[in-house]
Amino acid sequence: MRALIGILLVAVLFGSMRAAHAIPFFDQLPDFKVRVAGDRELQEWLGEQLEELRKGSSVLENYEDPRDVARYERGNLDKLLRSRGYYDSRVRESVTDGKIVYRVEPGPRYLIKSISVEMPPQLRRGLGALPLQVGDPLNAEKVKEGVTVIEKYLNDNACLLNVDVSYEATVIHSEAAARLVYRVAPSPEVVVGQVFIEGLTTVNEEFLRDKVGMASGECFKRSRLDAAQLRLLRTNLVAGVGSEVSEPYNGIVDITFRVQERKHRTVKLGVGYTSSEGAGVSAGWEHRNVFHRGEKIDIEGKANPVQQKLGARLLVPRFLRDDQDLTGRVELSNEERDSYEAESLSVGATVSRKLSKHRTASIGSELKFSKVDEEGAIPEDYNLLSFPLGLKWDTTDAPLDARKGATAALEVRPYIDLRNSDTNFVKNILVMSGYHTFAEARYEPTVALRVKAGVISGVDEVSKVPADERFYAGGGGSVRGYAYQALGPRVPLPPEETGGEVRLSDPIGGRGLSEISLEGRLRITEKWGGVLFVDGGNAFLKPELRFDSLRWGAGFGVRYFTSFAPVRFDIAFPLDKREDLDDDFQVYVSLGQAF
């Protein structure tokens, strides 16, 4: 049964990919072939470029006769050939049985006879090599790259008020050659005078001035001006920012940044539903500028029939250094699970540092006061002190609806119970996910994969780990199709409690966890999408990673895409249904993708 579900998922997903060109209008265009005698590389390039031009052409919508299409595309081929230096080319088209054949005689390829760069001599000295040299073919793409190289050089090494680079290519048909001239428009060299910030109402001006990073007397660079605007936007305190540079005076220019502050307060309300936990609601309040320097406080409460939480979080960005944040948290929680009840109060703080564009490391501490009443055991109080260490790598494009990229997050959290010297353990969790979207295919299918593994070490029995810190599987963020925390080890109940019947307890949790999920996501319209998925997972008594004893669930879902995140509605079915333990299906409604 599991294999059949997996085959159906792959068939539906990749079946949609094979329909990559089933776009109504473009399917009506006649097929074509490009023939270039003796130059296979040019032939393949022209075919690829012509295919791309078809996708973005609105002119072709007006043509029904293949001969009209051929005449129009012959002009496109002429332009493409000139862009590669073929100025004496000849293109002939023929139409047979509704199919077009383009026969190309490229002729000689024009070579660059001379290259010159017109700019002040004092600026010219440090300019390195250009993408084009004398004797190279006259390639339009390389010519434009030369403009970019000169602009970057001037932005990095000169104090020009304006950087304006143009080019002129003079074609010499009698020699199959060309002269190439780059010109830098005259502009004065200036330094920064005064820096003003206008439009502030609540944000601390000195805080934003530090983010600008431009000081009086320094060399004026347009690139630094653009970077300053980007840094202001990244504070998340301003909704828009513009800049104005004054007219030069005595070799000086003043700079004015005009900002528009964001609304710093947000009220949040949410609802959700799962078959095993029932309906749930959430409410929150957020202030993103508490102390006028970008500090954010977030207060949120969540409640459903089995769990209630109230928490507050304070984020201090750029704590001690620009690439480092401090987060303080406090949370009050109450859980009423089948196998245990737990009340807890947690207080903690974490410092996270951006190691690179995609890597973040974190270290923190947390103190958790809890009372856990486990089924069949005496209620216990715990004072757990932990020191979480984290490392995350993230290249995804969107946190709530990733379409490409990957993530890997590792957390190692040692626990010490200040009340009981026997309750010391280390909880290790690794979560990896990957996303790939076939953007050219019909419905833009996204393949999403998630793997999660967990191990609790340092203790020899699961009973020495508080029940609310053990691993469980099942539910909307785990194995869909099974109730929340319904998967994991169970033990036989004492005969006196069952009247002599052989019955198992509710899941007691484990020291090992293995999960894997595969989704195929389809973007059917701009607002609506669909999902097919298969989940597998289980929790184990011993601290081990096993993928041979997983329980599997599968299902489908609908997505409604909002400007913030997709609304998720999933129906899942247990493929390894256990008599008297599992329902026929589970329903999940929430915000954001499952992973």
Instruction: Inform me whether the pLDDT recorded for 494 exceeds 90.
Output: no
Say yes or no: 99 and 117 in one domain. no
Say yes or no: 558 and 510 in one domain. yes
Tokens of 464: 């020495």
The helix (H) or strand (E) run that includes residue 349 is: strand 340-354
CA distance 581 to 593: 27
Instruction: Inform me whether the pLDDT recorded for 346 exceeds 90.
Output: yes
Answer yes or no: is 22 within a domain. no
Say yes or no: 289 and 396 in one domain. yes
Which residues are paired to 266 by β-bridges?
Answer: 286
Say yes or no: 167 and 301 in one domain. no
Answer yes or no: is 5 within a domain. no
Work out the average pLDDT over 191-199: 94
Give the domain-ending residue among 142, 163, 184. Answer: 184
Q: What is the pLDDT of residues 500-552, one digit of tens each?
A: 676 777 889 999 999 999 999 999 998 999 999 999 999 999 998 888 889 99
Instruction: Inform me whether the pLDDT recorded for 7 exceeds 50.
Output: no
Between the alpha carbon of residue 507 and those of residues 267, 464, 487, 492, 554, the distances in Å are 38, 16, 7, 11, 21
What CA dihedral angle connects 128, 129, 130 and 131, to 10 degrees? -130
Answer yes or no: is 517 within a domain. yes
How far is CA 497 from its chain centroid?
Answer: 51
Supply the DSSP symbol for 185.
P
Answer yes or no: is 151 within a domain. yes
Say yes or no: 457 and 337 in one domain. yes
**Helix, coil or strand: residue 8:** helix
345 C-beta neighbours (distance < 10 Å), count: 13
Instruction: Inform me whether the pLDDT recorded for 55 exceeds 60.
Output: yes
Answer yes or no: is 412 within a domain. yes
Give the domain-ending residue among 159, 184, 209. Answer: 184
Q: What is the pLDDT of residues 390-409, one digit of tens each?
A: 999 999 988 888 999 999 99
- If one counts the domains in the chain, the total is 4
Answer yes or no: is 424 within a domain. yes
What does 72-109 look like in DSSP terms, one character per residue?
Answer: HHHHHHHHHHHHTT-SS-EEEEEEETTEEEEEEE--PP
Say yes or no: 198 and 328 in one domain. no
Give the domain-ending residue among 128, 155, 184. Answer: 184
Say yes or no: 292 and 214 in one domain. no
pLDDT at 21: 37
Say yes or no: 115 and 100 in one domain. no
pLDDT band at 465; cut points 50, 70, 90 = very high
CATH, residue 327 = 2.40.160.50
pLDDT at 195: 94
Answer yes or no: is 1 within a domain. no
Domain of residue 551 covers 265-591
Which residues are paired to 427 by β-bridges?
Answer: 413, 456
pLDDT at 498: 60
Q: What is the pLDDT of residues 355-391, one digit of tens each?
A: 999 999 999 999 999 999 988 788 899 999 999 999 9
Nearest CA among 82, 75, 42, 81 for reference residue 60: 75
CATH, residue 35 = 3.10.20
Residue with tokens 């749930």: 280
How far is CA 157 from its chain centroid?
Answer: 34
> In terms of residues, how long is the chain?
595
Say yes or no: 248 and 396 in one domain. no
Q: What is the pLDDT of residues 14-39, one digit of tens each?
A: 444 443 333 334 447 889 999 998 89
CATH, residue 156 = 3.10.20.310
Residue 582 half-sphere exposure toward CB, CA atoms < 13 A: 23
CA distance 502 to 490: 12
Q: Torsions phi, psi of 46, nearest 5?
A: -65, -40
pLDDT at 422: 78
Say yes or no: 302 and 208 in one domain. no
How much helix, strand and coil, in percent to the nearest 5, is found in the chain? 20, 45, 35
How far is CA 311 from its chain centroid?
Answer: 27
Say yes or no: 536 and 403 in one domain. yes
Between the alpha carbon of residue 288 and those of residues 22, 231, 298, 303, 458, the distances in Å are 46, 17, 8, 24, 41
Per-residue burial over 550-574, b = 16 or more CB atoms within 10 Å of its CB, e = otherwise: bbbbbbbbebeeeeebbebbbebbb
Say yes or no: 455 and 545 in one domain. yes
Tokens of 111: 């070579």
Residue type for position 482: Y
Answer yes or no: is 530 within a domain. yes
Residue 48 neighbours by CB under 8 Å, 6+ apart: none
What does 472-502 look like in DSSP terms, one character per residue?
Answer: -B-STTS-TTS-TT-BS---BPPHHHHTT--
First-to-last CA distance in the chain? 25
Q: What is the pLDDT of residues 99-118, one digit of tens each?
A: 999 999 999 999 999 999 99
pLDDT at 504: 76
